């Protein structure tokens, strides 16, 4: 099979992406954007478990398409009987793949937030492109969130994944895009509004990695970020291990483990018992999982606490007081019950002055892609990386 060459991300381009401040969209000239209708911007959050895709015409703030897709590819198993899979498909994606997973060889294109299987990732990118209905001949430009820890090889793999579907891309750290997406531009003139893009700390607790980033109005450098491979998937692993120790005859699938975690995760004191039904050998069993869930989530909280302390140490003395009042949790881990209050308590007990921790709320899956559109509207032409 012929491989298309993708030019590597040059040091000059990487430095430019890190160095340049993102100016308000209103301050940019009309000449910096192609004519509306000729180019469409794609905001893309490639998550280990779920990905978010948003589409907007260049020069417009209107979002004409938005979709959240499980990041999974399923290939038909050998010998599948005809008409078992819809349309006798050889490959399914997202929800369709999850629904028919018994008949598929399931692959996760990404692990720890980066491309793990390039062939599956390329197929997944093709699926994402096919979801986008744009006029014939229109150009699609994608701004893609990458983990704070993504190195040169990881970034080039993302380019390979998207090559052939999006001719130009920009890769930006996910926590910075989350801050842009969370920003309320309608309140920027309000003296009481604390702009998350101006001076904050974003903690993105995903599936594969936890990324902590100082956001201070410009693309963060390596010194402004820390990333650890300890996040939602690790909580699943710890919970699965605990269940096997207490109930050695119970074997819950990874999908079921994740469902239990998402429904009952918490930190701090256990407010009520957590019981989960499972079928073992055809018989219904009731499992007491409250302590196991709490312990697994507590391990994640302590890892987040360590990362936050490390980044506080990186903040300048002139900005640290404002940063402490604007610690924002996003990603799936931000939905763990009481995680904001418990992180704030730990900071207070450790002697930090007036910390304020909050979560972005239920729309956490959309903020990176939303911020990616904002970054694309404000990008200069020489910031785009041409693929192919």
* pLDDT tens digits along 238-268: 999 999 999 998 888 888 999 999 999 999 9
Its CATH architecture, for the domain 232-295, is: 2-Layer Sandwich (3.30)
What distance lies between CA 169 and its chain's CA centroid? 17
Cα–Cα distance for residue pair 172/208, rounded to 1 Å: 17
Instruction: Say what the pLDDT of residue 7 is.
Output: 40
The overall longest dimension of the chain from CA atoms, in Å, is 68
The confidence band for 281, taking pLDDT boundaries of 50, 70 and 90, is confident
Instruction: Say what the pLDDT of residue 196 is.
Output: 87
DSSP letter for each residue of 232-244: HHHHHHHHHHHHH
Q: Is the pLDDT of residue 29 over 50?
A: no
Q: Is the pLDDT of residue 19 over 60?
A: no
Instruction: Say what the pLDDT of residue 59 is.
Output: 85
The confidence band for 344, taking pLDDT boundaries of 50, 70 and 90, is very high
Q: Is the pLDDT of residue 379 over 60?
A: yes
The residue that leads in pLDDT, 328 or 283, is 328
Cβ neighbours, 10 Å, residue 96: 18
Q: Which DSSP symbol is given to 2?
A: P
Instruction: Say what the pLDDT of residue 245 is.
Output: 93
Domain-wise residue ranges, the chain: 232-295
Q: What are phi and psi of 175, to 5 degrees?
A: -60, -35
Q: Is the pLDDT of residue 1 over 50?
A: no
Per-residue b/e over 305-329, b at no fewer than 16 CB within 10 Å? Answer: eebbeebbeebeeeebeebbbbbbb
Q: Work out the burial of residue 25: count CB atoms within 10 Å of its CB; fewer than 13 is exposed, 13-18 middle, 19 or more buried.
A: middle
């Amino acid at each position: 099979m012929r491989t298309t060459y993708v030019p590597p991300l040059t040091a000059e381009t990487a430095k430019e992406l890190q160095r340049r401040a993102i100016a308000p969209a209103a301050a940019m000239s009309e000449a910096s954007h192609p004519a509306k209708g000729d180019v469409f911007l794609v905001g893309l959050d490639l998550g280990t478990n779920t990905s978010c895709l948003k589409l907007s015409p260049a020069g417009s703030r209107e979002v004409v398409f938005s979709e959240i897709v499980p990041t999974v590819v399923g290939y038909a198993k050998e010998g599948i009987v005809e008409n078992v899979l819809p349309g006798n498909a050889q490959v399914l994606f997202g929800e369709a793949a999850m629904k028919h997973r018994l008949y598929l060889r399931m692959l996760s294109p990404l692990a720890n937030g980066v491309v793990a299987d390039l062939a599956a990732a390329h197929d997944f990118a093709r699926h994402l492109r096919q979801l986008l209905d744009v006029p014939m001949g229109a150009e699609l430009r994608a701004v893609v969130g990458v983990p704070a820890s993504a190195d040169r090889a990881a970034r080039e793999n993302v380019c390979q994944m998207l090559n052939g579907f999006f001719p130009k891309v920009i890769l930006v750290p996910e926590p910075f895009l989350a801050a842009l997406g969370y920003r309320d531009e309608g309140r920027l003139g309000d003296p009481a509004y604390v702009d998350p893009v101006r001076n904050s700390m974003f903690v993105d607790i995903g599936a594969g990695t936890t990324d902590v980033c100082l956001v201070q109005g410009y693309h963060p450098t390596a010194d402004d970020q820390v990333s650890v491979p300890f996040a939602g998937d690790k909580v699943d692993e710890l919970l699965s291990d605990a269940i096997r120790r207490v109930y050695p005859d119970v074997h819950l699938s990874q999908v079921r483990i994740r469902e239990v975690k998402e429904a009952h995760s918490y930190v701090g004191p256990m407010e009520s018992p957590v019981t989960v039904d499972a079928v073992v050998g055809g018989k219904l069993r009731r499992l007491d999982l409250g302590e196991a869930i709490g312990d697994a989530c507590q391990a994640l909280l302590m890892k987040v606490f360590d990362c936050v302390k490390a980044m506080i140490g990186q903040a300048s003395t002139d900005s640290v007081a404002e940063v402490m009042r604007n610690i924002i949790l996003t990603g799936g881990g931000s939905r763990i019950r009481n995680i904001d209050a418990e992180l704030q308590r730990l900071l207070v007990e450790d002697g930090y002055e007036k910390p304020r921790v909050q979560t972005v709320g239920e729309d956490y899956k959309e903020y990176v892609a939303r911020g990616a559109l904002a970054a694309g509207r404000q990008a200069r032409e020489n910031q785009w990386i041409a693929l192919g």
